[in-house]
Amino acid sequence: MRYNKFLKERISVREYKDKKIDDNLKENIKENINLIHKKCRDNNIKLSFLEDGNKIYEKLEGKAGYSGVMIKSPYYIGLEIKEKDYKTLISSAYFTESLITEIENLGLGTCWIDVNDVSDEIKKELFSSIHLKYLISIGYPKHKIKQMDSPKEFDYLGKRWIVGKRPAGSSPTSSRLSVEEIVYKEKWGNKIGTNELENRGLLDLFYYVRYTPSHLNKQPWRFILENNKIVLNTIEPKDKKNFIDLGIMMYYFENIAKEMGITGNWKLLDINSENVEDKDYIAIGEFKI
């Protein structure tokens, strides 16, 4: 699998066939969850495969998701996050997205669902845990993803046209900020041209990571390109949900970079949480290049 192609083509699936998945696929997902728990080694983060999709949907309709619009699917993944510090939030999202990648490679569709506002009482009844913050819907997508053929739907990358795939009737919320809107040179707000990014061999990387999914499609990540490193910033750091989006982005960034021959990992910076409240943006990580 190529991560760049996968990310560009992945979409949030909100309608599913009423069809069970085979036991061997379920086993595969459960094994992946076990592997992720071993890799993640953080007791504050727990993933689980939830079989009773109908019961979960019925209880959460009107209560979970955007404005209470719950997504109906035959199964869900539950994500419990016990600590709200930013490192745990980032890590939980990084590992959950690695599971989502595996699940989508099995031919299934997924969508993140925000359950932060569901009452503790309902969470205890459904999940035996008040720490469940997100669900991931899982199932066979109801609609096919169709290959685009209109030039209008192509994306412009530097000097090249790239053919992409988006689904029929794809929602406008899937649009993304341009590379120039998310990458700055040396300091916050300082524009950088795509020619310079192309010369430094980084244009494709930023082009593709823009497709990372985010809550309400907020795309809170901003990059400052320095001589030998990329500094990752988040806008509106007081919104803790942005750290989930950043963790997802970091997962794709590292894997797409690796495919391009750029090896490295994000190093998280220490954040003094008292300083976060009144800031428009803060630096949260560095990637050496």
Residues near ligand FMN (CB under 6 A) are 11-12, 14, 65-66, 71, 111-114, 173-174, 213-217, 244-245, 248
- Residue least distant from ligand FMN (Cβ): 213
Return the number of the residue (28 or 217) whose C-beta is nearest ligand FMN.
217
CB of 120 to ligand FMN, least distance (A): 19
CB of 76 to ligand FMN, least distance (A): 12
Return the number of the residue (48 or 170) whose C-beta is nearest ligand FMN.
170
Return the number of the residue (192 or 253) whose C-beta is nearest ligand FMN.
253
Question: What CA dihedral angle connects 109, 104, 50 and 112, to 10 degrees?
Answer: -60
Which strand (E) or helix (H) includes residue 111? Answer: strand 109-114
Structure tokens at 113: 């669902």
Return the number of the residue (64 or 203) whose C-beta is nearest ligand FMN.
64
Residue bearing tokens 């993944």 = 77
Return the number of the residue (40 or 90) whose C-beta is nearest ligand FMN.
90
CB of 190 to ligand FMN, least distance (A): 27
Neighbours of 93 (CB within 10 A): 26
Neighbouring residues of 199: CB distance < 8 A, sequence distance ≥ 6: none
CB of 106 to ligand FMN, least distance (A): 18
Sort strands 221-225 and 183-185 into parallel, antiparallel or unpaired: parallel
Nearest to 246 by CA among 274, 226, 228, 271: 271
CA angle 50, 51, 53 (to 5 degrees): 90
CB of 97 to ligand FMN, least distance (A): 8
